[in-house]
Structure 1
């Protein structure tokens, strides 16, 4: 149940029971509609989240279950102010884990993008690990609208092997792709400038 103060280290069972008992579905659907996102196929609620628990108070997060093998393994909370997200119990690797291994899978940039797509495809949500990108090897085609994310997945999931890049279909807007390569060129030039400066300093050493 929802309490006035966070329970110390709530378990999955605690969170599941509190989520099931809580209101907030209508408010979540309204918030999603205001952000041009249709009703998702998973239960979604606006709740107040503090210290990893659901507490009474003004809702501050959009909350929904993280599901793997058909079972809820955690809950993900998206802050209503800045759209940053976090899981409440641990560090699961994926949203949409049950979609991994499909012949064609879409790799989304964010949980909100995944919700907008009707929870089709996957989102990498681990804060720092990347080895799990290897799970994408089970798909022949990996669609992605973010070039940096696609190349990160190729690098960590396929060891940057040239032949594997053909799996990726990057459908980012042209201006985003242009901006990415312009940034790469800029930092490459800056790196060469620094190399020249250090070489010049070394000559006087």
Structure 2
């Protein structure tokens, strides 16, 4: 199943409409790829990865440690006046971002930017939905919470990185067993990927720490209790 074509599992009119709208405003893939290839910072990235217990030799792509700046570009050829942020990578002394390509079926699809100070992340083109998309098939897969976990695993398994959409989690239906060490993420994937059907819950092997699992369900129970006891006030606060 290719990420470069939208999966039939979540292909609907709404998704296709917004995918087409966003595509017109995305940075051209050739431009993104050229800027990545022109950037330096390979040795700096290798040193940083090693310091963070990540073996750069196990990654099938080159990471680079760069200084990232963004500026608005209001000259993209769209029918309506709008602009997008143009990201540039330079050689400032303070290199604060790790960049690496998101590869799908051997093709450069997007570019990940990972802030090494607060570990927030985004992609340049807002196109990529998964890291490790090619791994989502077969008997089993490891679902990682954060790109750092995915990098630490040598880019094995997968990591969901779309900040807005959740329906593409249905991609996980292509896998027999899903391992995840974060209970909240695992149950979110079960809800969005499998419509929270009980018969699919046994696909998930949740190997989170027992204390985290207990804390999660205690928090869920407290939220439900508050919602039942103070329904009007609770809903007003949550709105």
With normalisation by structure 2, the TM-score equals: 0.75
2:52 to 17, 29, 35: 35
Where 2:230 maps in the other structure, the secondary structure is: helix
Q: CA deviation at 1:21?
A: 2.7
Backbone CA RMSD of aligned residues: 1.8
Query: Among residues 94, 104, 120, which one is paired with 2:130 in the alignment?
Result: 94
Q: Tell me the SS of whatever aligns to 2:138.
A: coil
Equivalent positions of 1:174-193 (< 5 A) are 174-193=210-229
Residues 1:50 and 2:86 aligned together = no
Q: How does 1:1-205 map to 2 (within 5 A)?
A: 10-39=27-56, 40-51=59-70, 52-57=87-92, 58-195=94-231
Query: How far apart are residue 186 of structure 1 and its match?
Result: 1.6
Matched-pair contact (CA < 8 Å) for 1:15–1:54: no
Answer with 105-114 or 25-34: which moved more: 25-34
Contact 2:39 2:90 survives alignment (8 Å): no
Deviation at 1:10, TM superposition (A): 4.8
Counterpart CA distance in 1 for 2:158 and 2:233 is 44
Tell me, in whole angstroms, the C-alpha distance in 2 between the residues paired with 1:162 and 1:19: 44
Distance in structure 2 (CA, Å) of the matches to 1:197 and 1:44:
49
Segments ≥4 residues shifted beyond 3 Å: 195-198
1:196 deviation in Å? Answer: 9.1
Deviation at 1:119, TM superposition (A): 0.2
Cross-structure match for 2:20: none
Q: How many pairs align?
A: 190
1:77 counterpart SS class: strand
Shift of 1:92: 1.5
Distance (whole Å) between structure 2 residues aligned to residue 112 and residue 28 of structure 1: 13
- Equivalent pair of 2:135/2:157 in contact (CA under 8 Å): yes
Contact residue 65 and residue 76 of structure 1 kept, 8 A: yes
Residue 91 of structure 1 aligns to a residue in which SS? coil
Give the Cα separation in 1 of the matches to 2:136 and 2:112: 19
Aligned 8 A contact 1:70 1:98 in 2: no
Q: TM-score, normalised by structure 1?
A: 0.87
